[in-house]
Amino acid sequence: MRNYIYPVIASGLLSGCFMGGSNIKDVSTFERQPMVKSSIMPTKAQLSGARTRVIVLGIDDSGASVAKNAKLGAAVGNKIENLLADTGVEVVDRKLANKLQKEIQLAELKGRHDYKGPEVADFSVSGKIVTANFTKAYSAASSWVDDKGKTHYTPPKCKYSVSIEATLKVHALPSLNLVDTITITDTEAKSQDLSGHGYNRYNHNRQCPPYNKAQLDSLVTAAGADAVYESKVQLKNNFAPRGYITEYRTYDGKNIFKITMGKTAGIKEDQEVDIIQMFKNEDQLTGETNIEERKLAAGSVSNIVGQKYAWIVIDDPKKAKRVRLGDTVKIRFEDSMLDQVKKLF
C-alpha cells in the first residue's frame, strides 16, 4: 500500500536531486576524439534502433478464489502493459498471446530450450497469483484521558484487508531463457466507522458488516496495481532501451558521447545510463565462445535528444577515455526520490 508523505520531508530530500552537469550548450564547440572499436561491433539490425517487442501473457489467477473473482490476473496484466509502455518498448497486442502461451508451455513441458511458434515478440512476461487473502477485524469503541483531563473517544470500526502475492517471469524469445523472476506483494486496507444506530447489532455482536463484491474487488485490484507499481524498476530494467556509442567529443574537461537512441526509443533528458562493454571469452573446457558483459561507467542523458539520437555525459574522465566505438548504452531505471521516500514510511 502506498503511504502518505509529509511534504517538508520530501522537499528536503528532493532538494539535492537537481544537479547540473548534463547540459550541453553547443556540440560544435566540443572537439571530436578518436575512438578504438569495440571487439564486438553492433549489427545493422541493432543499429536500426528497432524497439524491443514485449508480449504480456495471461496472468494465472485460478489458484486463488479471491483473485479469480476479482479478475486480478487481467488487472495485473493491464498494469504491466501500462508500465512497459513508458520504457519505449513495443507492447505486442495481447490477441496474439493465447497461441504463443500454449507454445511456450508445451516447449517447457517437453524440456525444449527454443520456441518454434510465430516470432511476434523478443520477450514474454507471464505470471501467477500465488495467494490472495481477505481478512476483516472488528475494533470496539475506546476512550482515554490525556494529561489535561480531556477525554478522547475512538468510535468502533471494522478494518478490511487484502494481501496478495504473485510471481512474474520474463522469458527471452525464441531461446525461452528465463531472464528474471519477480515476486510482487502488497496489502491494501480500508476502515469503516461503525458509529450510529444502524450498526448497533454489529457492535453488540462485535462483528463486521458484510463487505460486498464490488468493495472487495476494488480492494483486490488496488492491491494488485500497487504490487506491480512497487516492482516497476526491476520490471522495466529487463526491457531498458539499448543503443550504441557512435561519437566522442570533449571540451573544457567535459566528455560527451553520441548514442543511437532518441525520442523514438523513449529517451529523455536526465535519464541515467550505463555504458556496457562486450567481450568474447573462450571456455577452456568446452572451447565454446561466450559473450560477457561488463559495466564500464555511468552517465546521464543531456538536454540534446533527437528522434533517433542523443548526447550523453560521462563525468568520470578516466572511464570516459576507455569507452569504445560501438559500446552498448543501456537506460537505467530507478525509483524517483519520492518513491524512495515512500518506502521509508
Cβ atoms of 284 and 262 closer than 8 Å: no
The answer to whether residues 67 and 40 belong to one domain is no
pLDDT attached to residue 140: 95
Helix (H, G, I), strand (E, B) or coil at 85: helix
Question: Would you place residue 204 in the very low, low, confident or very high pLDDT band (cuts 50, 70, 90)?
Answer: very high
The single-letter code of the amino acid at 111 is G
Q: Identify the domain boundary among 199, 218, 237.
A: 237
- The reply to whether 74 and 198 lie within a common domain is yes
**pTM of the entire predicted model:** 0.78
Note whether residue 2 is domain-resident: no
pLDDT at position 281, please? 82
Crossing angle of the two packed helices 213-230 and 72-85, in degrees rounded to 10: 40
pLDDT band at 177 (very low <50, low <70, confident <90, very high): confident
pLDDT digits (tens, 9 = 90+) for 273-323: 999 999 888 778 887 777 888 999 999 999 999 999 999 999 999 999 999
CB atoms within 10 A of CB 119: 11
Same domain, 170 and 263: no
Handedness of CA 106, 109, 110, 113 (dihedral sign): positive
Average pLDDT of the segment spanning 8-26: 56
CATH of the domain at 228: 3.30.160
CATH code, domain carrying 267: 2.40.10.410
- How confident is the model over 320-341, as a mean pLDDT? 86
pLDDT tens for residues 23-41?
999 999 999 999 999 989 9
Q: Are 84 and 228 contained in the same domain?
A: yes
Question: Which of 294, 300, 244, 247 is CA-nearest to residue 271?
Answer: 300
Supply the pLDDT for residue 8: 42
Domain final position from 237, 262, 282: 237
| Count: domains in the chain | 2
pLDDT at 208: 96
Within-domain flag for 13: yes
The pLDDT of residue 272: 95
Q: Shortest CA distance to 279 belongs to which of 327, 319, 330, 243?
A: 327
Asked if residue 1 belongs to a domain, the reply is no
| 46 residue type, one letter | Q
Q: Is residue 30 part of a domain?
A: yes
Pull the grid cell for residue 76: 495485473
Residue 148 lies in a domain: yes
Indicate whether 199 belongs to any domain: yes
Look over the chain and give the mean of its residue pLDDT values, rounded to a whole number. Answer: 87
User: Which structural domain, as residue segments, surrounds residue 269?
Assistant: 7-49+241-342
pLDDT value for 94: 78
**220 and 298 within one domain:** no
Shared domain for 212 and 91, answered yes or no, is yes
More confident residue, 264 or 96: 264
Q: Domain check: are 302 and 335 in the same one?
A: yes
Q: Where are the alpha helices (DSSP H) in 86-199?
A: 97-109
Would you say residue 189 lies in a domain?
Answer: yes
DSSP 36: P
What mean pLDDT is predicted for residues 128-137?
98
Amino acid at 130: V
Co-location of 13 and 129 in the same domain:
no
Beta bridge partner(s), residue 277: 294
Average pLDDT in the 3-25 region?
52
Backbone angles phi, psi at 206, to 5 degrees: 50, 50
| Within-domain flag for 175 | yes
State the average pLDDT over residues 97-104. 72
Locate 35 and state its grid cell.
575512438
C-alpha to C-alpha distance for 293 and 280, rounded to whole angstroms: 9
Q: Are residues 61 and 26 in the same domain?
A: no
Quote the pLDDT of residue 280: 83
Across-strand partners of 278?
Answer: 293
So what's the pLDDT on residue 238? 92
Same domain, yes or no: 28 and 43: yes
The pLDDT value recorded for residue 116 is 61
Q: Are 160 and 262 found together in one domain?
A: no
Task: Please check whether residues 134 and 224 belong to one and the same domain.
Answer: yes
Residues 6+ apart with CB under 8 A from 245: 35, 257, 258, 259, 275, 323, 324, 325, 326, 327, 329
Picking from 175, 209, 237, the residue at the C-terminal end of a domain is 237
How far does the chain reach from its first CA to its final CA, in angstroms?
11
Grid coordinates of 141: 469503541
Are the C-beta atoms of 287 and 296 separated by less than 8 Å?
Answer: no
Q: Looking at residues 110-128, what average pLDDT do you find?
A: 76
**DSSP secondary structure code for residue 20 in this structure:** -
The 10s digit of each residue's pLDDT in 208-244 is 999 999 999 999 999 999 999 999 999 999 998 899 9
**Nearest alpha carbon to residue 58 among 74, 72, 71, 69:** 74
